[in-house]
A and B are shown apart, each in its own frame.
Chain A
Amino acid sequence: MNKKGILALIVAVFFVVGIAEARKTELTPADERDWQVIAPQDSDAPLRDYAMLYEAGGHDGMIGVIGIPSMKPYRYIQMGVDMHNFPFSGSNAGNNNGTPDGKYLWVSDKGADAVIELNLQTGFAERILANPKPFGIHHSAAMSPNGKYIFLTGELSGKVAKMRVSDGATTVIDVPPAPSAPDYPDTSKDGKYLFAGNYYHSATMVFSQDPFKFIKEIPVGKNPHGHNVEPRNRWVVVCDKLSATQSIIDVRQLKVHKVIPVGAGPLHNQPDNFGKYNYISSFVSDSTIKVDLGRMQMVDEFPIHYRVGHNSIAPDNHYYVSQNKYSTGLFNPTGIVYAINFELQDIDELSPTYGKSVKIVPINGEPHEGRQIFSTTIQRWNTGKGEELFTKGYELGDVKVNFNDPGKSSKLRPSLAPIHLAGAKRYFIPRDDGKPGVTKEGDVYVVRIKAFSYGYIPRFIHVPKGAKVRIILTNIDKAAGLTKNPDVTMGFLPAGYYGQKTRLDGVRGMSAVGEFVADMAGEFEFYCQQFCGPLHLEMRGTLFVDPPGGQASLSVGDYDEMSKLEYQVDEPAERDFITGGNRLLNTLKEGNEPAI
Chain B
Amino acid sequence: MKKYLSIIVASLFILSSGVAFSYDGSLADDTAYIGKITKIDRGARVIELTTTFEKTPKTWKLNMQDECQIQVMTTKDPSERGAFKKFVELKEGTLAVVYGWPKDGKWLARKISILNPDDYLVKRLGDDARAGIFFGHEP
What 9 additional pairs, Cβ within 8 angstroms, besides A101-B67, A316-B74, A398-B70? A91-B99, A93-B99, A101-B69, A189-B101, A273-B97, A294-B135, A315-B73, A316-B73, A317-B121
Bound CA–CA A395/B108 (angstroms): 20
Residues of B within 8 A of A231 (CB): 31-32, 97, 99
Contact with A along B96-139 (1 / 0, CB 8 A): 01011111000010110100000111011100100001011111
Bound CA–CA A152/B62 (angstroms): 32
Bound CA–CA A57/B29 (angstroms): 36
Instruction: Name the contact of B32 in the complex, choosing from A40, A274, A315, A397 (C-beta under 8 A).
Output: A274
The interface residues of chain A, by DSSP majority, are classed as: loop
**B residues in contact (CB < 8 Å) with A:** 22-23, 29-32, 34, 66-71, 73-74, 77-79, 81-87, 97, 99-103, 108, 110-111, 113, 119-121, 123-125, 128, 133, 135-139
Bound CA–CA A596/B103 (angstroms): 8
Residues of B within 8 A of A93 (CB): 31-32, 99-101, 110-111
**Cβ of A376 and Cβ of B84 under 8 Å apart?**
yes
Bound CA–CA A313/B5 (angstroms): 53
A129-170 with Cβ < 8 A to chain B: 145
Residues of B within 8 A of A39 (CB): 77-79
**Cβ of B32 and Cβ of A399 under 8 Å apart?**
no
Bound CA–CA A93/B100 (angstroms): 6
Bound CA–CA A375/B84 (angstroms): 11
**Cβ of B113 and Cβ of A273 under 8 Å apart?**
yes
Indicate the member of A296, A318, A397 with the most B CB atoms within 10 Å.
Answer: A397
> Which residue of chain B has the shortest Cβ distance to A375 in the bound complex?
B82
Bound CA–CA A30/B17 (angstroms): 48
**Cβ of B32 and Cβ of A252 under 8 Å apart?**
no
**Cβ of B30 and Cβ of A350 under 8 Å apart?**
no
Indicate the member of A234, A351, A398, A399 with the most B CB atoms within 10 Å.
Answer: A398
Instruction: Name the contact of A294 in the complex, choosing from B34, B85, B100, B133 (C-beta under 8 A).
Output: B133
Instruction: Sort chain A's interface into a size bin.
Output: 35 or more
**Cβ of B99 and Cβ of A94 under 8 Å apart?**
yes
* B86 to A: closest C-beta gap in Å: 5
Instruction: Name the contact of B121 in the complex, choosing from A32, A94, A276 (C-beta under 8 A).
Output: A276
**Cβ of A295 and Cβ of B32 under 8 Å apart?**
no
Contact with B along A252-275 (1 / 0, CB 8 A): 100000000000000000001111
**Cβ of A397 and Cβ of B79 under 8 Å apart?**
no
Beyond A93-B100, A273-B97, A376-B84, whether A396 also contacts B69 by CB under 8 A is yes
> Which residue of chain B has the shortest Cβ distance to A348 in the bound complex?
B120
Residues of A within 8 A of B135 (CB): 274, 276, 294
Q: Which are the 10 A-B pairs with shortest beta-carbon distances?
A: A374-B82, A397-B84, A189-B31, A93-B99, A39-B78, A233-B31, A376-B82, A39-B79, A231-B32, A50-B81
Contact with B along A227-242 (1 / 0, CB 8 A): 0000111100000000
Bound CA–CA A40/B83 (angstroms): 14
**Cβ of A233 and Cβ of B30 under 8 Å apart?**
yes
27 contacts between A and B (CB under 8 A): A39-B77, A91-B67, A93-B31, A93-B111, A94-B99, A94-B111, A101-B67, A101-B69, A190-B29, A191-B103, A231-B32, A274-B97, A274-B135, A275-B32, A294-B137, A295-B133, A296-B138, A315-B73, A316-B82, A349-B121, A349-B123, A351-B120, A374-B82, A375-B82, A397-B69, A399-B69, A596-B108
Residues of A within 8 A of B67 (CB): 90-91, 101, 399
> Which residue of chain B has the shortest Cβ distance to A317 in the bound complex?
B121
* A98 to B: closest C-beta gap in Å: 9
Residues of A within 8 A of B120 (CB): 348-351
**Cβ of B69 and Cβ of A276 under 8 Å apart?**
no
Residues of A within 8 A of B83 (CB): 376
Beyond A93-B100, A189-B31, A596-B101, whether A51 also contacts B85 by CB under 8 A is no
Bound CA–CA A99/B69 (angstroms): 8
Bound CA–CA A41/B138 (angstroms): 44
Residues of A within 8 A of B125 (CB): 274, 276
Determine if A121 is an interface residue (Cβ-Cβ < 8 Å): no
Beyond A272-B121, A276-B125, whether A99 also contacts B111 by CB under 8 A is yes
Indicate the member of B30, B133, B136 with the most A CB atoms within 10 Å.
Answer: B30
> Which residue of chain B has the shortest Cβ distance to A396 in the bound complex?
B84
Residues of B within 8 A of A243 (CB): none
* B70 to A: closest C-beta gap in Å: 5
**Cβ of B101 and Cβ of A145 under 8 Å apart?**
yes
Determine if A122 is an interface residue (Cβ-Cβ < 8 Å): no
* B10 to A: closest C-beta gap in Å: 22
**Cβ of B70 and Cβ of A397 under 8 Å apart?**
yes
Determine if A542 is an interface residue (Cβ-Cβ < 8 Å): no
**Cβ of B139 and Cβ of A294 under 8 Å apart?**
yes
Residues of A within 8 A of B66 (CB): 399
* B64 to A: closest C-beta gap in Å: 9
Residues of A within 8 A of B139 (CB): 294-296
* A594 to B: closest C-beta gap in Å: 9
Contact with B along A198-234 (1 / 0, CB 8 A): 0000000000000000000000000000000001111
Bound CA–CA A91/B108 (angstroms): 12
* A524 to B: closest C-beta gap in Å: 40
Determine if A377 is an interface residue (Cβ-Cβ < 8 Å): yes
**Cβ of A234 and Cβ of B82 under 8 Å apart?**
no
* B139 to A: closest C-beta gap in Å: 6
Beyond A275-B32, A295-B133, whether A397 also contacts B97 by CB under 8 A is no
* B98 to A: closest C-beta gap in Å: 9
> Which residue of chain B has the shortest Cβ distance to A37 in the bound complex?
B78
> Which residue of chain A has the shortest Cβ distance to B78 in the bound complex?
A39
Indicate the member of B67, B87, B97, B139 with the most A CB atoms within 10 Å.
Answer: B67
Beyond A274-B34, A377-B82, A397-B86, whether A349 also contacts B124 by CB under 8 A is yes
Bound CA–CA A174/B100 (angstroms): 31
Residues of B within 8 A of A101 (CB): 67, 69
